[in-house]
Amino acid sequence: MGEIFDINAVFSAIPRLLEVLPVSLQITAISMVVGLVFALLFAVIRMKKVPVLSQLVTLFISFIRGTPIIVQLYLTYNGIPLLLKFINQQYGTDYNINAVPAMLFVLVTFAFNEAAYNSETIRAALQSVNKGQIEAAESLGMTYLQVLKRVIVPQALVVAIPPLGNALIGLLKGTSLAFVAGVIEMTAQGKIISGSNFRFFEVYLALALIYWVLTIIIEQILRFLEKRFSIPDPVQQTMNRGWFSWGRRGI
C-alpha cells in the first residue's frame, strides 16, 4: 500500500507550478491596470452624471456585480466569436475566429469585472475629497482634468489603496478560473500534475501554499504604499513639534 500522504510530492510540485506563475501574474497585472483605467472613467461619468452614458455605466455595473465571474467568462468565451462572426457577415470581413487567443477572453472578462467593482471604490474615494479644495482649485482657473490630477486623485488614492489592495488579492486568486477558457495558469497546471501522479491533495496543497505566499507579499507591499501615501495628521504634527521643542528647551 502506498503512502497516504507524500510530503515529497508537495515539494516536487512547487517548481512545476511556478513554471506558469508568470501567466497568473500577467493576468492579474494587465486586468488590474486596464480595470482601474475603466473604473476611473466609469466613476467620473457617474459623478458628473453624463446623460445616457451614466445610465449605461450603471446598468453595466449592476450586471457585472449581479452575475458570477465564471458566467461572465463563459459569456466572453462564446460572445466574442459570435461578435466576430456577425461582423464578418455584415461587413464582408474575414476575421479568423479560431485564431483568437484564449488569453484575450480571460483578460477582457477580468478587466471589466475589476472595472465594475473598483469603480464604486474609486467613486467613493473621489467623493471623500473636501469640496472646498476642489472649488479653490477651480477658482484658480484649473480645468476639471487638472483638478482631478493635482487635487482629487492624490487624496483619493490614500482612501482607495486598502480596498483596491483587497481587490488585487481577490483578482490574483480569481485567476484560477482562467483554465475555463483554456489558459494554462497555476490551477490548470495543478490539475495536469495531479492527473498524472494522482497526488491530488499534495499538489493542491502546494498550490495553496504558493497563493498564500503571494498574498502575503502583496499585503506587505500594500502596507508600504499606505504608509508612503498617507497624509500626516496636522494636529499630531503640531503636537510632535511642540513636544520636540519643549524637550529641547528642557535639555
Q: Tell me the per-residue pLDDT of 136-177, one tens digit each, with 9 for 90 and over.
A: 888 888 887 888 788 887 888 888 888 999 999 999 999 999
In order of 23, 87, 192, 212, 236, the CA distances from 215 in angstroms are 16, 42, 23, 5, 33
Query: What percentage of residues in the chain have a pLDDT greater than 90?
Result: 55
Cell of 128: 471623500
Instruction: Give every CB contact of residue 117 below 8 A, 6+ residues apart in sequence.
Output: 39, 64, 65, 167
Distance separating alpha carbons of residues 27 and 104, to the nearest angstrom: 10
pLDDT tens track for 3-60 = 788 899 999 999 999 999 999 999 999 999 999 999 999 998 998 889 999 999 999 9
CA-to-CA dists, residue 183 to 20, 73, 180, 188, 214, angstroms: 10, 12, 7, 8, 20
Residue 246 in this model has a pLDDT that exceeds 80: no
Q: Are 21 and 206 in contact (CB under 8 A)?
A: no
Measured between its terminal Cα atoms, the distance across the chain in Å is: 77
For the chain, the domains span 8-250
The angle that helices 53-65 and 102-127 make with each other, rounded to 10 degrees, is: 110
Query: Could you tell me which CATH class the domain 8-250 is placed in?
Result: mainly alpha
pLDDT > 70 in the chain, percent: 90
